[in-house]
Every structure is written in C-alpha cells, then in structure tokens.
C-alpha cells in the first residue's frame, strides 16, 4: 500500500516505515540515508543486510549489538579466520540470527573484503565509485514509488558476487545503498531528505 510521509508527535514529518517506534525512529533520523564512507562500517552494514534476507530490518536492528559482540565488532580480519568451532558457537548464540549459510557467508565476504582492501583503494571507494562518489538523490513522494532494486544495485550485486561476497542480491544491495546514503530515498516531504542530500544533489528517479 502506498504511504506518504506524515507528521509525528514531535512535529517532524518522517517517512512512514519507522511508525511510532522510538528505537526505529532514531535509526531513521540519525543513520538511514546518511552517507557512510568508512570501510569497516560499510562491511558491517552489508553483512547485516544479508542477515535481514527473509526478515524485517527492525528484527536485525534490535539484535545489532548482539551481532557486534558475536562477530568481534565486525572486524573482517578476525571474521575471515573463523573456523568450524567458531561457526558452531555462533549457531548456538540465541542473540543473533542463527542461519549457517548466512554465518558462513559473512566469513566468505570478509575474505573478499580483505582482497579488495589489499588492492589499494579500499572497500569504500570500490562501492562509492559506482555512484561517482556522491549520493544519488531521489525525489519520491510515496513509498510505492521506491524501487526494490535498480540497474546500479544490479551492477554492484554482480561485481560483489563475482568477488566472492555472499547474500548480495540486487534487492539486498539496494537496501544497503539506502541505509548507507549511496542513494537518498527519504521521501521528499521527510525532514531528513534535505539533510541527507546536502549539496550533493544528483536527481535520478522522479516521483510517481
């Protein structure tokens, strides 16, 4: 169902998806859509988006600190060395999503990440080069206008997959792009839209 941004009790007009949940609203206000350029933080968000597959993002968000504790603060150098014993321990950890394929995928993705880092430019530049280093700023009025994937997310997905990353389908990658500010999909009437756009406006997809 199509939804537009709406005012909340604090007087701010937000995208509809956080609802009235204070925890979710804080994430929407301070993180989602804010450009992220840190290599390790981008790896963490990509892995968490992979764990989200088949689940709601709020489920992952509420478990994020548990994930960080379980996965050594998402340090790829450590995760790449996880052995069968560590994976078994993670499968016994009720604080995270216990999916063996996703856990093993995080290990494979850590190894792929390290290879990119060894190549020199870094993971952040590798990703941001797909959008010319600047956020793509969309101007959607309703949630129905927001795509599940785009040609750019398909391109990134294929490149990540070819390099050994797991759980990086086009839809997961697009959610990752939204979360890390590679694309600004805050609705135009949301108070965060302008703040996340800054001076880096680069309109691509028009509102329907």
Cα(179)–Cα(42) distance, integer angstroms: 10
Q: What are phi and psi of 194, to 5 degrees?
A: -70, -40
Topology agreement, domain 11-36+124-197 and domain 54-120? yes
Of 2-16, 22-36, 52-66, the range with the lowest mean pLDDT is 2-16
Annotated binding site: 15, 28, 186, 190
* Beta strands 13-14 and 136-137, pairing class: unpaired
Annotated binding site for Zn(2+): 15, 28, 186, 190
Q: How large is the average pLDDT for residues 3-27?
A: 92
Q: How large is the average pLDDT for residues 2-21?
A: 90
The pLDDT of residue 200 is 43
**Which pTM was predicted?**
0.92
The pLDDT of residue 144 is 94
Could you tell me the CATH superfamily of domain 11-36+124-197? Hypothetical protein; domain 2 (1.10.340.30)
Q: How large is the average pLDDT for residues 157-163?
A: 98
Domain ranges of the chain: 11-36+124-197, 54-120
Q: Dig out the tokens for 89 from the structure.
A: 């321990």
Cα separation values, 173 from 11, 34, 151, Å: 32, 16, 11
Could you tell me the CATH superfamily of domain 54-120? Hypothetical protein; domain 2 (1.10.340.30)
If one compares 184 and 204, the residue with the highest pLDDT of the two is 184
pLDDT tens, residue by residue, 44-89? 999 999 999 999 999 999 999 999 999 999 999 999 999 999 999 9
| Chain position carrying tokens 């005012």 | 7
Q: How many CB atoms lie within 10 A of CB 110?
A: 24
């Amino acid at each position: 169902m199509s939804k537009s941004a709406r005012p909340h009790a604090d007087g701010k007009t937000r995208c509809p998806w956080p609802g009235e949940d204070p925890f979710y609203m804080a994430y929407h206000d301070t993180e989602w859509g804010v450009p992220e350029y840190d290599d390790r933080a981008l790896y963490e968000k990509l892995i968490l988006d992979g764990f989200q597959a088949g689940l709601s993002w709020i489920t992952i968000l509420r478990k994020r600190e548990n994930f960080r504790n379980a996965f050594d603060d998402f340090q790829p150098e450590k995760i790449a060395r996880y052995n069968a014993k560590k994976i078994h321990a993670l499968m016994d950890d009720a604080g995270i999503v216990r999916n063996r394929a996703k856990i093993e995928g995080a290990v494979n993705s850590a190894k792929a990440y390290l290879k990119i880092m060894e190549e020199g430019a870094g993971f952040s530049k590798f990703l941001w080069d797909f959008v010319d280093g600047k956020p793509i700023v969309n101007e959607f009025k309703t949630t129905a206008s927001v795509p599940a994937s785009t040609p750019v997310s398909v391109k990134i997905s294929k490149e990540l997959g070819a390099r050994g990353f797991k759980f990086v389908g086009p839809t997961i990658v697009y959610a990752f792009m939204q979360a890390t500010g590679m694309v600004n999909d805050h609705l135009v009437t949301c108070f965060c839209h302008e703040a996340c756009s800054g001076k880096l406006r680069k309109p691509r997809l028009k509102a329907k």
